[in-house]
Amino acid sequence: MKKLFILSTLFLCTITILANKIDKTTAKKIATNFFYERINQFSQMDYDAVRPAETFELKNEDKTLIYVVNMSNAGFVLVSAYDNVRPVPGYSLSGKYTNTDLPPQLAALLEQYKLQINEAVDLQIVATEEISGMWEHLLTNEPGLLQPLKNNKAVEPMLTTQWNQGQFYNEMCPADGAGPGGHCYAGCVATALGQVVNYFRWPETGTGSYSYECPPYGILTANFGNTTYEWDKMATALNKSNLATALLLHHLGIACDMVYGPDGSGMYNHKAAYALRTFFKYSPETVYVYRDSTSMDWDSLLVSHLDRAIPMYYAGWSVPNINGHAFVCDGYQDGNYYHFNWGWSGSYDGYFYTDDLTPGGSNFNLAQEVIINGFPDTNTYSYPLYCQGAKILNGTDGTIDDGSGPVYDYHPDSDCSWLIAPEDSVENISLEFLNFNTEAGDVVTVYDGETIAAPVLGTFEGNAIPADITSSGDKMLITYQSDAAGTAPGWLLSYTSEI
């Protein structure tokens, strides 16, 4: 891409002592204490169960600047190697750090972290009392002094997708034998936009059409208004062909004048917000905001959207604005760390610090941008559409919900059904409920076959996430009825087939 989107961040300030080098043992202690506080905001984990594992050192030449500490079960913590900067620039509560196959945007972010820490050391920038207090707090030997964030504000990651740009995702992109699966990459912009619009499951059909020339692949055309986007057939992650997902990503690429290529695809413009407004029926107020030119408070801008369950297309540019990458901001913890879905099959998704506090040093935080008000145009169109009647789904993988989307409650007096009957020969079908919250009497029933005469695999109501379900054969029927009384946020499930 001409510009590699990157998030610039970090965290320096002043007091009276110079930077001290942090050794690996200390870094593991910092990581353990920090992870314990963070994981217990969303779940319950005893302190003794939080154990550090493999540790990586991120260096500038021979100087270690960041430790990456994997946790024994899952997750990792970035720990600064000097105590004149914030102790933890980022972390993840899931997955592992391997130092290989890093998302380009995360790799660039880590380089920016290293640049900032290295500058803080070289300039002998000294820590504020606040930063010194952070280190002191996380170095405690008394677990009882740690502060799990149970009462702090947070929004858990909203996206259920773990999409990527390569094989299967790019199946509708221009053919090129040098690309993954014989096609050009879908592009980070399309993947980020795709995960956002899939979250809202909107639109059902687009509006208008668009064509442009993309050498050497010729004229690329999308007729958005003549396309039905089949959200029920889009899976949370792809390990086989899924044309519904691939078509969406290609249309988003065309809408943004994607410059396709076998080694990477990107855009030279800022057309993503325009594409959502013009072709995908999103609010007329869907616009870019640039951190270096807005008078808005950046944290307040992000939090106000995330608190309203609106994930944000986010882009960062490396200084001096040569490369860039797009991703999605879909949650936060403690108002300081924002959750990013990198569009890299879920790898390295985590929470990262987004401010730069480098008095007298380089300005690292300006090259960031977001799309605000990225929400369906409810003034012009009916959204959400709510489920209606009976559907037959002939794909092998996808997602199903009550039709209310992620923001609104479901409709009273619903009576809907979905028959999963893949055209391909499959052994069985499995369900995983991703969200579940219904009022008493509003019931999801799963049958081990194609009619309500088939054995019942489960009947569900309330707010507990049901256990996974697997059919004994190649068809599964799901029904949903709600009464005329109260409503609730509803449910979302993922289905996969074993071929």
Q: What is the pLDDT of residues 221-230, one digit of tens each?
A: 999 999 999 9
Say what percent of the chain tops pLDDT 70. 93
Q: Is residue 162 part of a domain?
A: no
Strand order in the sheet with 490-498: 398-401, 490-498, 428-437, 469-470
Q: Is residue 481 part of a domain?
A: yes
Q: Which two tokens stand for residue 64?
A: 């270690």
Encode burial over 105-130: b for 16+ CB neighbours within 10 A, e otherwise.
bbebbbebbbbbbbbbbebebbbeee
Q: Is residue 467 part of a domain?
A: yes
Q: Is residue 415 part of a domain?
A: yes
Query: Do the strands 415-420 and 389-393 form a parallel or antiparallel pair, or are they unpaired?
Result: parallel
Q: Is the dihedral of CA 448, 454, 455, 457 positive or negative?
A: positive
Range of the domain at 434: 389-498
Q: Which two tokens stand for residue 344?
A: 């890299």
Q: What is the residue-averaged pLDDT of the chain?
A: 92
Quote the radius of gyration of the chain (alpha carbons, Å): 24
Cα(249)–Cα(219) distance, rounded to whole angstroms?
A: 17
User: Domain holding 492: CATH number?
Assistant: 2.60.120.290
pTM above 0.75, yes or no: yes
Report yes or no: 117 and 81 within 8 Å, Cβ to Cβ: yes
pLDDT tens, 428-459? 999 999 999 999 999 999 999 999 999 999 99
Q: Is residue 145 part of a domain?
A: no
pLDDT tens, 341-371? 999 999 999 999 987 534 334 555 557 899 9
Say how many domains are in the chain: 1
Q: Is residue 489 part of a domain?
A: yes
Helix axes 24-39, 129-138, angle to 10 degrees: 90
Q: Which two tokens stand for residue 225?
A: 């208004």
Reply yes or no on whether the pLDDT at 71 is more than 80. yes
Q: Is residue 229 part of a domain?
A: no
Q: Is residue 398 part of a domain?
A: yes
